[in-house]
């Protein structure tokens, strides 16, 4: 069995987060969704659990970072092409995200970043497969 990853992120307004990430092209698993949380499907093995802040706090005794002042995590997603990077980030910006920094272009890599409505930073990166394969 392949290893799966479940990233857990606190959100202030679950409905707003679902609306935002739906506009970005993501789907949700209703089996793991209720008024406290939803399971956003990134791929067959990658999921993001969006948890309302009080529910998130039931899993951790630590304070939720103020994303306007601090970064608790950088979530980086791969893309199949430069165009896919632009499509995802442009969809996020149209849905209310804020651009985070300038586009990054370093040799065979291209990426852009945005912050979601809760201030979490998402990077979307593409790397030229010819370079990756060597």
For the chain, the structural domain boundaries read 1-57, 71-134
| pLDDT tens profile 23-62 | 999 999 999 999 999 999 999 999 999 999 999 999 998 9
Reported pTM: 0.89
The model's confidence at residue 82, banded by pLDDT at 50, 70 and 90, is: very high
Instruction: Please check whether the domain covering 1-57 is classified as CATH 3.10.180.10.
Output: yes
Question: What is the CB neighbour count within 10 angstroms for residue 62?
Answer: 8
Q: What percent of the chain has pLDDT over 90?
A: 89
pLDDT band for 72, please (50, 70, 90 cuts): confident
Q: Among residues 67, 130, 76, 54, which one has the least CA distance to residue 98?
A: 67
CATH number for the domain formed by residue range(s) 71-134: 3.10.180.10
Asked if the domains 1-57 and 71-134 are classified in one and the same CATH topology, the answer is yes
Decide if pLDDT at 134 tops 70. Answer: no
| 89 class by beta-carbon count within 10 Å (0-12 exposed, 13-18 middle, 19+ buried) | buried
């Amino acid at each position: 069995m392949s290893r799966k990853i479940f990233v857990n992120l606190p959100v202030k307004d679950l409905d707003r987060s679902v609306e935002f990430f739906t506009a970005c092209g993501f789907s949700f698993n209703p089996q793991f969704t209720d008024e406290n949380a939803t399971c956003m499907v990134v791929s067959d093995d990658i999921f993001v659990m969006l948890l309302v802040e009080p529910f998130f706090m039931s899993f951790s005794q630590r304070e939720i970072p103020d994303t306007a002042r601090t970064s608790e995590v950088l979530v980086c997603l791969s893309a199949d092409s430069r165009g896919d990077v632009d499509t995802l980030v442009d969809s996020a910006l149209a849905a209310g995200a804020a651009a985070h920094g300038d586009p990054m272009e370093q040799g065979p890599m291209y990426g852009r970043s945005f912050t979601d409505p809760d201030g979490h930073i998402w990077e979307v990166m593409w790397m030229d497969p010819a370079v990756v394969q060597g």
